[in-house]
């Protein structure tokens, strides 16, 4: 589950703590105002990031959006928890390395591109990745662009959002609300092991992505198909109570067991190769 923004603990006198709090409040307000002026509806700070021009290699495409909530966190790039930036850019870099080594598909090892949904460049990518949809609230213009992208052959992986069993399904509820806006009347169909996405390159043994460290999270995988027909092309793959991006990010650090990391890469590579062949 996405961590909460870091808290600030007073380390001196009450007066100093108040001064620090006031300074932080002013800083947050200033950043939010500047971001809003740049067109970010959430008030999240604008950040600088590299842009990779097409050079005949595969380049990872991550969807950048204005999150419903954001915060400060040293865990993430830029020291900001912007939701869409979870695992960035290490996930992209490690995914590209494995893609190149295993499939022979040349990939950009430096990272990927951050693409907003209403950016025409989205149509240059057969495959896109969106994380933390529990904080996603696209504009109507963005929804139209994404709908056109998917109907014209694009493929979207939605990953990294969690709700606990017996708790409130806030993450799922927001995600489902946006999907209903994207494709009214669409069906979120449970994905099955015998479907092509899980056989296109690696033949997965199962779809169990349970994490023993998170016993209260029950992973589930859903899909949205063309014409709501599971025998037709899969357009959106949904990883709920799962975070394969985390497996990619930490694959060279040994944070997760080897079998879980390998399984996360197998699933990701299958998604990508499915998108290129269907």
CATH number at residue 47: 3.40.50.12140
Residue 115 lies in a domain: yes
Number of domains present in the structure of the chain: 1
Note the pLDDT of residue 149. 98
Secondary structure of residue 228 in the 3-state scheme: helix
> 54 phi and psi, to 5 degrees?
-65, 130
Note the pLDDT of residue 28. 39
Residue 72 lies in a domain: yes
| Rounded Cα gap, residues 220 and 244, in angstroms | 13
**R_g of the chain computed on alpha carbons:** 19
Tokens found for residue 272: 């990508």
135-148 pLDDT, tens per residue?
A: 999 999 999 999 99
Q: Which whole number is the average pLDDT over 212-239?
A: 93
Residue 40 lies in a domain: yes
Which residues on neighbouring strands pair with residue 58, listed in sequence order? 107
pLDDT band at 16 (very low <50, low <70, confident <90, very high): very low
Note the pLDDT of residue 40. 59
Lowest mean pLDDT among 24-38, 80-94, 110-124, 181-195: 24-38
Residue 32 lies in a domain: yes
Note the pLDDT of residue 212. 74
Contact 87, 75 (CB under 8 A): no
pLDDT at residue 228 greater than cutoff 80? yes
Tell me what percent of the residues of the chain surpass a pLDDT of 90.
76
Residue 43 lies in a domain: yes
89-128 pLDDT, tens per residue?
A: 999 999 999 999 999 999 999 999 999 999 999 999 999 9
Q: What is the mean pLDDT of the chain?
A: 86
Which residues on neighbouring strands pair with residue 80, listed in sequence order? 72
pLDDT band at 215 (very low <50, low <70, confident <90, very high): confident
Tokens found for residue 186: 């669409």
Note the pLDDT of residue 73. 93
252: containing domain: 14-277
Note the pLDDT of residue 34. 35
In this prediction the pTM is: 0.84
Residue 3 lies in a domain: no
Burial class (CB in 10 A: 0-12, 13-18, 19+), 118: middle
| Rounded Cα gap, residues 129 and 246, in angstroms | 13
Maximum Cα–Cα distance for the chain, whole Å?
Answer: 66
| Rounded Cα gap, residues 223 and 225, in angstroms | 6
Query: Dihedral of the CA atoms 5, 50, 105, 198 (nearest 10)?
Result: 30
Residue 9 lies in a domain: no
CA atoms within 13 A on the CB side of 81: 17
Residue 2 lies in a domain: no
34-78 pLDDT, tens per residue?
A: 333 344 566 899 999 999 999 999 999 999 999 999 999 998 999
List alpha helices for the chain, DSSP H.
14-37, 90-103, 140-151, 170-182, 244-249, 258-277
- Of the two residues 74 and 225, the one the predictor is more confident about is 225
Contact 63, 111 (CB under 8 A): no
- Of the two residues 254 and 2, the one the predictor is more confident about is 254
155-179 pLDDT, tens per residue?
A: 999 999 999 777 789 999 999 999 9
């Amino acid at each position: 589950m996405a961590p909460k923004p870091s808290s600030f603990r007073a380390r001196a006198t009450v007066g100093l703590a108040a001064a620090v709090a006031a300074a932080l409040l002013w800083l947050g307000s200033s950043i939010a105002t500047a971001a809003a002026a740049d067109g970010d509806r959430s008030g999240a700070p604008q950040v600088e990031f590299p842009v990779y021009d097409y050079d005949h290699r595969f380049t990872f495409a991550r969807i950048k959006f204005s999150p419903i909530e954001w915060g400060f966190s040293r865990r993430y790039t830029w020291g900001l928890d912007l939701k869409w930036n979870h695992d960035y850019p290490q996930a992209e870099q490690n995914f590209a390395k494995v893609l190149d080594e295993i499939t022979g598909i040349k990939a950009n090892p430096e990272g990927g591109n951050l693409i907003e949904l209403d950016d025409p460049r989205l149509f240059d990518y057969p495959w896109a990745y969106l994380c933390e949809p529990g904080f996603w609230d696209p504009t109507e213009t963005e929804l139209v662009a994404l709908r056109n992208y998917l109907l014209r052959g694009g493929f979207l992986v939605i990953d990294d959002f969690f709700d606990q069993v017996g708790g409130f399904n806030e993450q799922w509820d927001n995600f489902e609300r946006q999907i209903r806006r994207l494709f009214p009347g669409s069906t979120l169909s449970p994905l099955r092991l015998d479907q092509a996405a899980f056989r296109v390159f690696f033949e997965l043994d199962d779809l169990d992505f349970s994490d023993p460290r998170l016993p209260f999270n029950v992973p589930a995988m859903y899909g949205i198909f063309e014409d709501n027909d599971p025998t037709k092309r899969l357009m959106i793959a949904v990883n709920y109570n799962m975070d394969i991006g985390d497996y990619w990010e930490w694959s060279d650090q040994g944070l997760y067991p080897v079998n879980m990391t390998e399984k996360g890469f197998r699933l990701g590579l299958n998604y990508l190769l499915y998108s290129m062949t269907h």
